[in-house]
Amino acid sequence: MSERPLHVLFLCTHNSARSILAEAILNHIGQGRFKAFSAGSHPHENQQPNPLGLQVLRQAGISTEGLHSKSWDEFGQPDAPRMDLVITVCDNAAGEVCPYWPGQPATAHWGYPDPSEVEGSGAQKLEAFRQTFLALHRRLALLVSLPAEKLERAMLQGTARDLGRS
């Protein structure tokens, strides 16, 4: 692997819950080997990260500084960071036509239910975010623990897709 960290972009529809959680988790546990980003295919105007997601991250000791919702269009610009891996984390984004990503990064789909759509009490909604956080954390911990050769460009596509099945 090169000296540059592996750039990973997490995509979802609104970039307010799952993709934001994944970005923060990977940047926290990535040990400098990874640099995570997140974006949405259709974020609402003035979209902000879900407060329950931010609460769960803070409770886990993960920084929420700098997290903000953004469109995936930002990452198709000429001056955007070059991605090595693009992962959709919701069913909606998986079925959409993704923009062209410079450098043809590896892609994978890791589907998770949207915790922001859970009905119920505040405690039930918070628990949905905790469960999504834990599921993402388990899968990202597996990614982080992979040996360098599994993260080489030629292997990355298959490795990321295999993790999506675990």
Residue 127 counted as domain residue: yes
Q: Tell me whether residue 97 is in a domain.
A: yes
pTM: 0.89
Rounded to an integer, what distance in angstroms lies between the CA atom of residue 79 and that of residue 155?
26
Question: Along the 166 residues of the chain, how does pLDDT read in single tens digits?
Answer: 457 899 999 998 889 999 999 999 999 999 899 999 999 988 888 889 999 999 999 999 999 999 999 998 898 888 999 999 999 898 655 555 556 666 778 888 898 999 999 999 999 999 999 999 999 999 999 999 998 888 886 577 777 878 887 7
Domain range enclosing 71: 6-161
Overall number of domains in the chain: 1
Q: What is the CATH number of the domain that holds 115?
A: 3.40.50.2300
